[in-house]
Amino acid sequence: MSEDTEAVTRIETPVYLQYNFTAGRAPARFLERIRQGVLTGQRCPRCANVYIPPRGSCPACGVPTEEEVVLPDKATVQSFTVVAIPIPNNPIKPPFVIANLVLDGANISFIHLMSECENSEVHIGQRVQAVWKPEAEWTYAMDNIRYFKPIDEPDVPVDRIGRLPIGGWEDEQ
Amino acid sequence: MAKLAAVVGIGQTHYKTRRGDVSIAGLVREAAVNALEDAGLGWDDIEAVIIGKAPDMFEGVIMPEIYLTDALGCNGKPMLRVHTAGSVGGSTALVAASHVQSGMFKRVLTVTFEKQSESNAMWALSTPQPFSVHLNAGAGGYFAPIIREYMRRSGAPYDVGIKVAVKDRLHGARNPLAHLQLPEITMKEVEDSMMLWDPIRFLEACPSSDGACAMVICSEDLVAESPKPPAWIRGVAMRSEPTMYAGREEVSPQAGRDCAADVYRQAGITDPRRDLDCAEVYVPFSWYEPMWLENLGFAPEGEGWKLTMSGATSLDEGGDIPWNCSGGVLSSNPIGASGMIRFAEAARQVRGDAGAHQVEGARLALGHAYGGGAQFFAMWVVGADKP
Ligand SMILES: [Zn+2]
């Protein structure tokens, strides 16, 4: 190698991955229903906790879950973060709020985007509701919900988060 | 009953943003050669090799262990790859230890690595999943809400994480191998750094590093063949739990508490703060120090932050139970190796071989790693004294 040739120490080699997903019975049912704009969870026969999205079993009890529960699209903020950096391959622009949300009647959180809110005013116990995409765009995905936005309901006390009835916080009060 | 085993050799690379001078094979070999040299041994003295790294998607090299047999001198010998997400460095060490403790092998080399400069960990940790929204903002995005919940529950002051960020970087400045060298770092500098995943600031998060760590573990009868003092393995434990279930304790996972109780019982530890001389604990985000202080029983629930704020975990403040004297994950983070670095640094302490970050007179130390959604735990206790 001549002295004025720079050594090659790195080349870019992109990796692409496309995979087919076999959802299994419970998630397949969930995806089928969310295609129609319905949020469907499953209740554990032993501890009575409601899982959404359902995976067909309760990891806490180690038993299958079969009973279907249709849930509303209102939820409570269990915790959250304000993200200042972009997510790879996601067009969403920072800063944005990702919240761990528990639907009314459910006992486990999932993550989703929060919008139509002041990022600095988001808080644990806050009440939110889904903002859906237009029906024509619905597919087999949780993305049918564009984001959750705050609603005018009193905050849920911390010890009640994840324990609200299907009728929601107002029902419980 | 498990046979006695000890660490007789430790080898690390420098940790830095990019090791452009070596391939993955060159990187792991460097650590392995350093470990063999430390143990006063050669390739022929090794019977089996146990290797670990984080997800293959990080570097995009699928099953790299297959092509690393040459570099690690294990053609014709057994090789095994271990994977338990971020805890893999710890669990790899434990699998290696069990190969000796079982009596199956006399001397085993174990190596872990990550070459983050060749990877996009944020991408690898943010792959879309079919039944949830594509919002996985890397590890920070996952752990930030859990940290927020810890802050709410404990009522800890806002600057506990800032204090840990400074403390571990000052420790790291004593360690020439540490990636971040920030001897002048201040609380204000950390506080003013960019909020990445609120409440985690840039300087409260770990760096991305290239690096590898290796150890030689051998049976009792071969310990004397290596020149330096051994680190006797006094307890080993792994636990796992599901990422998600209703009522899961995410702030202080059950698997972590069970794993700690198991390893303490084996090592005869009843009060970890009193009985241990130091600990190397997996703290990738600063707030995980107070959280793990509680999970691992060094402080009562809700009071881990008081230990941190009192200086008890700081070498520079003369604390009684220094944590992460090497600088920890906050100073160097080649992910797949980060757990093993904790285990190796615990061993360096009890061998009296930790240089400028040595805890004077350390006889018993904890090495800890966690991974996934804080659902895999690996721990060992090593001691200067033969049990
Ligand atoms: Zn159950």
pLDDT in tens, B90-108: 999 999 999 999 999 999 9
Out of A71, A99, A125, pick the residue that ends a domain. A71
Ligand 1 is an ion; its neighbours by CB within 5 Å are A 44, 46-47, 58, 60-61
For residue A62, the CA-to-ligand 1 centroid distance in Å is: 7
For residue A49, the chain B residues in CB contact (below 8 A) are 246-247
Min distance B140 CA to chain A CA atoms (Å): 9
Q: Which of B16, B17, B133 to mutate to test the interface with A (most CBs of A within 10 A)?
A: B133
Provide DSSP, B24-72: HHHHHHHHHHHHHHHHT--GGG--EEEEE-S-GGGTT-SSGGGG-TTTT
| Per-residue pLDDT tens listing for chain A (173 residues) | 456 678 888 888 887 778 888 889 999 999 999 999 999 999 999 999 999 999 999 999 999 999 999 999 999 999 999 999 887 777 889 999 999 999 999 999 999 999 999 999 999 999 999 999 999 999 999 999 999 999 999 999 999 999 999 998 877 77
Q: Do B141 and A158 touch (CB under 8 A)?
A: no
Q: What is the 3-state secondary structure (H, E, C) of A38-51?
A: CEEEEECCCCCCEE
Q: Is there a contact between A127 and A144 (Cβ–Cβ < 8 Å)? A: no
B321 half-sphere exposure, CB direction, 13 A CA radius: 22
For residue B283, the CA-to-ligand 1 centroid distance in Å is: 32
Judgement on whether residues A112 and A40 belong to the same structural domain of the protein: no
Query: Which of B35-39, B138-142, B298-302, B364-368 bottoms out in mean pLDDT, i.e. has the lowest?
Result: B138-142
Judgement on whether residues A103 and A77 belong to the same structural domain of the protein: yes
Average pLDDT, chain A: 92
Indicate whether A173 belongs to any domain: no
**Residue A89 CB: number of other CB atoms within 10 A?**
10
Judgement on whether residues A47 and A83 belong to the same structural domain of the protein: no
Residue A13, both tokens: 């080699």
Q: Which helix (H) or strand (E) holds B89?
A: helix B88-101
Q: Which of A9, A81, A119 to mutate to test the interface with B (most CBs of B within 10 A)?
A: A81
Indicate whether A90 belongs to any domain: yes
* pLDDT at res. B134: 81
Q: How would you label B211-225 residue by residue, b for 16+ Cβ within 10 Å and e otherwise?
A: bbbbbbbbbeebbee
* pLDDT at res. A23: 86
* pLDDT at res. A10: 82
Tens of pLDDT, residues B38-91: 999 999 999 999 999 998 888 888 899 999 999 999 999 999 999 999 999 999
Q: What is the mean pLDDT of residues B162-184?
A: 98
Contacts of A105 (CB under 8 A, 6+ apart): A41, A50, A69, A71, A72, A164, A165, A166, A167
Indicate whether A2 belongs to any domain: no
Indicate whether A45 belongs to any domain: yes
The domain containing residue A58 runs over which residues? Answer: 25-71
Backbone angles phi, psi at B324, to 5 degrees: 55, 55
Q: What is the mean pLDDT of residues B142-151?
A: 97
Distance CA(B149)–CA(A106), nearest Å, equals 19
Cis before B199? omega within 30: yes
For residue B133, the chain A residues in CB contact (below 8 A) are 111-113, 141-143, 145
Residue B102, both tokens: 């079982």
Distance CA(B29)–CA(B212), nearest Å, equals 9
**Residue A145: which CATH number?**
2.40.50
Q: Do A15 and B60 touch (CB under 8 A)?
A: yes
What letter does residue B149 receive in the DSSP assignment?
H
Judgement on whether residues A127 and A45 belong to the same structural domain of the protein: no
ipTM score of complex: 0.92
Q: Do B247 and A100 touch (CB under 8 A)?
A: no
Judgement on whether residues A156 and A123 belong to the same structural domain of the protein: yes
Contacts of B200 (CB under 8 A, 6+ apart): A81, B140, B143, B144, B147, B161, B285, B286, B287
Q: What is the mean pLDDT of residues B301-313?
A: 98
Closest CA relative to residue B249, chosen from B84, B374, B86, B88? B374
For residue A163, the CA-to-ligand 1 centroid distance in Å is: 14
Judgement on whether residues A60 and A136 belong to the same structural domain of the protein: no
Q: Do B141 and A81 touch (CB under 8 A)?
A: yes
Judgement on whether residues A38 and A80 belong to the same structural domain of the protein: no
Judgement on whether residues A130 and A152 belong to the same structural domain of the protein: yes
Indicate whether A33 belongs to any domain: yes
Indicate whether A132 belongs to any domain: yes
Min distance B21 CA to chain A CA atoms (Å): 7
Q: Do A47 and B118 touch (CB under 8 A)?
A: no
Number of continuous H segments (helices) and E segments (strands) in chain A: 2, 10
Q: Is there a contact between B379 and B90 (Cβ–Cβ < 8 Å)? A: yes
Out of A37, A71, A105, pick the residue that ends a domain. A71
Alpha helices in chain A, H assignment, sequence order? 25-34, 168-172
Residue B183, both tokens: 């001897």
For residue A47, the CA-to-ligand 1 centroid distance in Å is: 4
For residue B241, the CA-to-ligand 1 centroid distance in Å is: 15
Indicate whether A115 belongs to any domain: yes
Out of A71, A103, A127, pick the residue that ends a domain. A71
Q: Do B131 and A53 touch (CB under 8 A)?
A: yes
Q: Which helix (H) or strand (E) holds B142?
A: helix B138-154
Residue B133: which pLDDT band, with cuts at 50, 70 and 90?
Answer: confident
Q: Do A88 and B198 touch (CB under 8 A)?
A: no
3-state secondary structure of A57: strand
For residue A92, the chain B residues in CB contact (below 8 A) are 135
Judgement on whether residues A62 and A30 belong to the same structural domain of the protein: yes
For residue A51, the chain B residues in CB contact (below 8 A) are 246
Distance CA(B13)–CA(A67), nearest Å, equals 54
For residue B350, the CA-to-ligand 1 centroid distance in Å is: 44
For residue A30, the chain B residues in CB contact (below 8 A) are 131
Q: How far is CA B209 from the centre of its chain?
A: 14
Indicate whether A66 belongs to any domain: yes
Judgement on whether residues A128 and A60 belong to the same structural domain of the protein: no
Q: Do B126 and A110 touch (CB under 8 A)?
A: no
Contacts of A25 (CB under 8 A, 6+ apart): A56
Nearest CA in chain B to A30: B131
Min distance A121 CA to chain B CA atoms (Å): 13
For residue B245, the CA-to-ligand 1 centroid distance in Å is: 8
Q: How would you label B141-153 residue by residue, b for 16+ Cβ within 10 Å and e otherwise?
A: bbbbbbbbbbbee
Min distance A60 CA to chain B CA atoms (Å): 6
Judgement on whether residues A93 and A147 belong to the same structural domain of the protein: yes
For residue B120, the chain A residues in CB contact (below 8 A) are 88
Residue B110 confidence (pLDDT) above 90: yes
Judgement on whether residues A90 and A146 belong to the same structural domain of the protein: yes
Q: Do B244 and A59 touch (CB under 8 A)?
A: yes
Partner-chain residue, chosen from B60, B130, B194, that has the shortest CB–CB distance to A13: B60
Distance CA(A100)–CA(A162), nearest Å, equals 11
User: Count of domains in chain A?
Assistant: 2
Q: Which of B202, B245, B251 to mutate to test the interface with A (most CBs of A within 10 A)?
A: B245
Q: What is the mean pLDDT of residues B301-308?
A: 98
Residue B183 confidence (pLDDT) above 90: yes
